Amino acid sequence: MNRIVLVLLIVGMACASLTVQAQSARLRAANKQFDNLSYVTAVRLYEEFLRADKKKEPAETREALTKLGYSYRKLQDTRNSERIYGDLVKEYTDLDSEIYLYYAQALAQNGKYRDSQKMYSQYGEKQSQDLRGRRYTVSYMDLSRFYQDSSSYRLHNLPINSRQADFSPMYYKGGLVFVSARDESGAVKRVFNWNQTPFLDMYFYPDTTQLRVPNTEVKKAVPATLGGGAETKAPTAEESADAVQPMTKADIFSRTLNTKYHEGPMSFTKDQNTIVFTRNNTSKGKSGKSSEGVKKLKLYSSVNRDDKWVDIKELPFNSNEYSVGHPAFAPDDSKLYFVSDMPGGYGGTDLYVVEYANGQWGTPVNLGKEINTEGNEMFPFADASGNLYFSSDGHEGLGGLDVFFAELKEGIAYKGVQNAGAPINSEKDDFGFITDKSRTMGYFSSNRKKGVSDDDIYAFHRMCKQLNVFVYDAKTGTPIENADVRILRNGSNQEMRVTNLDGRAELCADANTEYEFRAVKEGFALNSVRFSTLTQSPKPVLSVSIYLERTENTLVRGVVKTEVNQQPATGVKVTLRNEKDKSEQTVTTGPDGGYEFNMKPGAPYTITAQKDKYATKKTQFAKGKKKGKFLPDSLGLYGVGDVFQLKNIYYDLNKFFIRADAAKELDRVRALLIEYPKMQIEIRSHTDSRAPDLYNIRLSENRARAAMDYLVSRGIDAKRLVARGYGEAEVLNGCVDGVNCNEEEHQQNRRTEFKILAVQ
């Protein structure tokens, strides 16, 4: 991949700790290419070294593997990157934390989300201050949120794509300017050492009307499951023919702006007479370097006079010591967003904004931690409303770079950052996104498998068959405002909508779907209506109505959550049983974990929540007394593999007796085991680091046994319990050998946990 990512000039993060030693000739040759950023050659030489040198020093093997994995990573060869990092993790235990991060990222980019989740968890344990470990560990528990709107989009691989990288389109005079590594300049071809591909230039295709998405429906994306990528149906002959249509000619954008080095991405002012573009650090045709001998990226401006780009100038906040690039003008030209790895940021590359008025530039300001993460944020774009799109590998996504959206108010992402979801995003890199005000159509770039080669540009069109759900008072016929409308797709709960002043809730209806809409409002009996899109309707807008009758019945509503992280649980079968007449109502929870039921007064009820590999949860209600009111409820599920820390179980130094405060916490565990008589748990005990390792193992085993004995003495069958000591292997706060910590900090590490081994 030959795109200009601003992290490209920072090399050796995972390799800096390797000691320089006498090396074999093959390894020295490979390292020289690595240091010169010639990753294609470096990969070949490292592979030869690992195959050929039979009597390698262990340190040399480790160095070669580490740098080989990093080289594959920089070449975006995720398959081989996964292979090498997998070997490192399998072979060594004292690796730098970045190795686990890179391995997790490679696994995700290959669609192996369950394995990636495990590596992110290990990375989070080693780098607790980096939120990516925790974010991705939780995010990969349920990927369905990334696919909720996927059926609304149609994608089209553009005929302007070449066999080299094509990416970062930008609107210009009814056409598209984009970045490409194609080399159409003649017999003499210069290549970029990084990956042996031509340098980047800016190209122009003049008429976007010739690039419209064809009238073929894209197949609905199926949410990926942990351990595998999304499955799609095989393309039809029509779709396959569309994907391989002949390339449409695109011309060099400007021979003045394009040089023998990299140019692009770029952005234009509203009148399209000023361009700001990215270029390698050059001055009067000569390449410039930082104090470390590295060519950085800079932003340049130029104005169009008489159809010629003239007055090429550096922007005043450029530097020889760090990179700036990826410009994006605000719709009113009042500011410019860009990317930089300048000191003081949150991660590898951050998004910045700088004021622009009367041709003068202000001082760049970091967009802050709501936008920027410990990872890389890049490729910004501001739509006609001034809202920001960008790509990131730090916010939770499907793998690689994902496209994100932030609605800005006074420069602040006041609603947070939203993932654009599939099919815009994939497990690969998705970036360079541009669109209209309502995100109904636009373009983006991606190196997903469907591309001709490397990065390709795609067009998208968001299709929406609007469906209005109206809620009325059955007696008066008046609209009911602020009624909740639960959407059920094919029998399963999905999202909730709220009616407006007209009693209307809106959604985009998916094709080939059986819907049920359930209206909920305090003081009214719950009612629902079914609606099907299995047959096509010629109407541009569809509508359905629900009528609610006033009642004295109680409405019970709640959320099912997993106890381990308090996240909504999807796919849970929730049943409300009337114990008087034995009638039952059943729903399956959606992404928000929510459920709603009518409950008649004067009868006892039982709510049961069931899901595979989770303990069945039951809650009982006495005869309802709150007529016509909401009865809030919440159900927590315990799952196999969940680990819970018993926060109040501590031990005195070098002791394993159960203290009074510990006994109270263990009584709660006893109550849980009584509630779930088939549950089996492992009691896990940990010590602080202030003793020899073997002593701490034995002490923690004694403590775990003491906790187990306490539970057995209170009537819990010993066959349901396993006791294990971990010693000082898993300290929580960095208080390892050689680190000065106070007694309170050491006390935090003398703790007990329990892990659920089996449920029923």
140 part of a folded domain: no
422 part of a folded domain: yes
Nearest-5° Cα angle at 453, 450 to 455: 85
342 part of a folded domain: yes
How many C-beta atoms lie closer than 10 Å to residue 535's C-beta?
7
Dihedral sign computed on CA atoms, order 223, 229, 232, 238: positive
Q: What is the CATH number of the domain that holds 735?
A: 3.30.1330.60
86 part of a folded domain: no
Whether residue 172 is predicted with pLDDT greater than 90 in this model: the reply is: yes
**427 and 567 together in one domain:** no
- pLDDT, one tens digit per residue, over 278-303 is 998 765 555 556 666 567 899 999 99
454 part of a folded domain: yes
Amino acid at 437: K
Which residue from 661, 643, 652 is spatially nearest to 750, judged by alpha carbons? 652
Domain that holds residue 458: 150-462
- pLDDT, one tens digit per residue, over 11-53 is 334 444 444 444 688 899 999 999 988 999 999 999 999 988 6
**212 and 317 together in one domain:** yes
- pLDDT, one tens digit per residue, over 647-672 is 756 555 556 667 677 788 889 899 99
Mean pLDDT of 178-183: 88
- pLDDT, one tens digit per residue, over 578-636 is 999 999 999 999 888 999 888 887 788 999 999 999 999 998 887 655 554 556 678 89
Q: In whole angstroms, what is the distance from residue 617 CA to residue 602 CA? A: 23
Strands (E), 490-593: 492-498, 504-509, 514-520, 527-532, 541-548, 554-562, 573-578, 584-588
**Per-residue confidence (pLDDT) for residue 231, from 0 to 100:** 32
Q: In whole angstroms, what is the distance from residue 344 CA to residue 365 CA? A: 11
Q: Quick one: 188 exposed, middle or buried, by C-beta within 10 A (0-12, 13-18, 19+)?
A: exposed
**SS3 label, residue 310:** strand
Is the pTM here over 0.95, yes or no? no
**357 and 501 together in one domain:** no
**296 and 411 together in one domain:** yes
**400 and 445 together in one domain:** yes
**230 and 308 together in one domain:** yes
Q: In whole angstroms, what is the distance from residue 78 CA to residue 97 CA? A: 19
Point out the least confidently predicted range of 238-242, 301-305, 491-495: 238-242
Q: Which residue has the tokens 């019970």?
A: 556
109 part of a folded domain: no
Mean pLDDT of 534-548: 80
Which residue from 618, 597, 598 is spatially nearest to 607, judged by alpha carbons? 618
- pLDDT, one tens digit per residue, over 42-85 is 999 999 999 886 677 889 999 999 999 999 998 889 999 999 99
Write out the two tokens for 479.
């609209």
**275 and 364 together in one domain:** yes
Q: In whole angstroms, what is the distance from residue 704 CA to residue 562 CA? A: 25
**560 and 533 together in one domain:** no
- Residue 230 pLDDT class (50, 70, 90 cuts): very low
Q: What is the CATH number of the domain that holds 583?
A: 2.60.40.1120
- pLDDT, one tens digit per residue, over 200-228 is 999 999 999 888 655 443 333 333 333 22
59 part of a folded domain: no
**535 and 667 together in one domain:** no
- pLDDT, one tens digit per residue, over 365-410 is 999 999 999 999 999 999 998 999 999 999 999 999 999 999 888 8
Instruction: Give the gyration radius of the chain's Cα atoms.
Output: 30
Residue where one domain finishes, among candidates 637, 653, 670: 637
Mean pLDDT of 717-726: 94
Residue where one domain finishes, among candidates 518, 548, 578: 548
Which residue from 263, 256, 266 is spatially nearest to 281, judged by alpha carbons? 263
Q: Quick one: 79 exposed, middle or buried, by C-beta within 10 A (0-12, 13-18, 19+)?
A: exposed
Higher confidence at residue 193 or residue 239? Answer: 193
**414 and 327 together in one domain:** yes
Write out the two tokens for 24.
């074999």
Q: In the sheet where 456-462 sits, what is the strand order?
A: 153-157, 456-462, 441-446, 430-435
Point out the least confidently predicted range of 165-174, 434-443, 642-651: 642-651
Residue pair 682/755 in contact (Cβ under 8 Å)? The answer is: yes
Q: What is the CATH number of the domain that holds 179?
A: 2.120.10.30
Report the b/e string of 408-436 with b at 16+ CB within 10 A. beeeebeeebebbbbbbbbbbbbbbbbbe
**Per-residue confidence (pLDDT) for residue 513, from 0 to 100:** 80
**330 and 447 together in one domain:** yes
Q: Which residue has the tokens 């595979």?
A: 612
**649 and 513 together in one domain:** no
Domain count, the chain: 4
Residue where one domain finishes, among candidates 619, 637, 655: 637
54 part of a folded domain: no
